[in-house]
Amino acid sequence: MNSIYQAAIDHPVSVPIEHRFDPYVDNGGTLLSIAGEDFCVVAADTRQSEGYSINSRYVPKSVKLSDKTVISMGGCYADCLTLTKRIQQSMEWYHHAHGKTMSTAAVAQMLSIMLYQKRFFPFYSWCILGGLDEEGKGAVYTYDPVGSYERESCRCAGSASSLIQPFLDNQIMFKNQETLKKNLPLDHVLRITKDSFTSATERDIYTGDYLEIFVITKNGVEIQKMDLKKD
């Protein structure tokens, strides 16, 4: 027993302590998107946090990119906002070059490429792209911070995602129940969305303040704002 410790005392290992600047910060918040038959809902809370503090109660996480596409991002807000700007700039160039607005699927692929281009210093952002596809059907694309993406019918991301996703799986995808699967109407989806957020606000400290819901239909994008608990 003596020898092991003696060896350590005789040959102390000195490890340099490095104080590094951490470029990332988690600003919290939750977002979700549900695709319907002819509509898409993108919802996100508006609280921006830093550690145990609230920076602001109203910093929108969702941005309308076009009449048929809305993007929502959670994670590091600085990265999310920069990424949003880059997407908007690319969409503007596309419009000048091609004379038309980028389709949702095109934006989806472009975003994946943009994220992967920073594979070795990633954007710390959890993106959900919601909109209408070229056939007018609701589309939701989910991403990881380095660009892996997939089209789904419903997804939530952010700090309370593990609270809401199981609820969505059951109520939107009808998982683990023997009900007849059917297309849900918009008002039903909106009620599920609002209930998801009020429940998440109860238990997740980073979710709350206000909820902004973007509803995308063939008539364009409509924005609803409602209160959430501020504690």
Partner 1 sequence: MDHFPTNWGNPRSEDVDNYNTYPVASHIAKVPHSVTQIAGYGHSNGHPTSHTQQPVVTGTSVLGLKFKGGVMMAADNLASYGSLARFRDVERLHQVTDFTVIGASGDISDFQYVKHLLDSQMIKEYNADDGHTLATHNIYEYLWRVMYNRRSKMNPLWNTFVLGGVHNGENFLGAIDLKGTPYQAPSIATGFGSHLAQPILRKEIESRGGEQNITEEQAIEILKKSMKVLFYRDARSMNKFQLAKITAEGVTISEPMSVETEWSFAEKIRGYGA
User: What are the two backbone dihedrals, phi and then psi, of residue 188, each rounded to the nearest 5 degrees?
Assistant: -70, -45
Q: Does 58 participate in binding partner 1 (rule CB under 8 A)?
A: yes
For residue 144, count CB atoms less than 10 angstroms from its CB and return exposed for 0-12, middle for 13-18, buried for 19 or more.
middle
For residue 47, count CB atoms less than 10 angstroms from its CB and return exposed for 0-12, middle for 13-18, buried for 19 or more.
buried
Q: With contact defined as beta carbons under 8 Å apart, do 41 and 33 qualify? A: yes
* 6, 55, 170, 183: which one binds partner 1 (CB under 8 A): 55
* 38, 64, 67, 81: which one binds partner 1 (CB under 8 A): 81
Q: Does 25 participate in binding partner 1 (rule CB under 8 A)?
A: yes
Q: Does 19 participate in binding partner 1 (rule CB under 8 A)?
A: yes
Q: Does 13 participate in binding partner 1 (rule CB under 8 A)?
A: no
Q: Which of 163, 173, 167 is nearest to 202 (CA)?
A: 163
Distance CA 188, CA 185 (A): 6
Least spacing, CB of residue 111 vs partner 1, in Å: 19
Q: With contact defined as beta carbons under 8 Å apart, do 194 and 72 qualify? A: no
Least spacing, CB of residue 82 vs partner 1, in Å: 6
A 10 A CB-CB count for 142 gives: 20
Only segment of 21-29, 96-104, 136-144, 189-197 that touches partner 1 (CB under 8 A)? 21-29
Residue 20 one-letter amino acid: R
Distance CA 230, CA 47 (A): 9
* 6, 8, 37, 56: which one binds partner 1 (CB under 8 A): 56
Those residues whose C-beta lies under 8 Å from the C-beta of residue 185, and which sit 6 or more positions away, are 36
* 31, 32, 63, 76: which one binds partner 1 (CB under 8 A): 76
Least spacing, CB of residue 19 vs partner 1, in Å: 6
Q: Does 146 participate in binding partner 1 (rule CB under 8 A)?
A: no
Q: Which residues, numbered 100-129, are part of the site for partner 1 (CB under 8 A)? A: 121
Q: Does 82 participate in binding partner 1 (rule CB under 8 A)?
A: yes
Q: Which residues, numbered 172-191, are part of the site for partner 1 (CB under 8 A)? A: none
Only segment of 4-12, 18-26, 88-96, 174-182 that touches partner 1 (CB under 8 A)? 18-26
Length of the chain: 231
Distance CA 210, CA 225 (A): 7
Least spacing, CB of residue 216 vs partner 1, in Å: 26
Residues lying near partner 1 in the complex (CB under 8 A) are found at: 16-21, 23-25, 27, 48, 50, 53, 55-59, 76-78, 81-82, 121
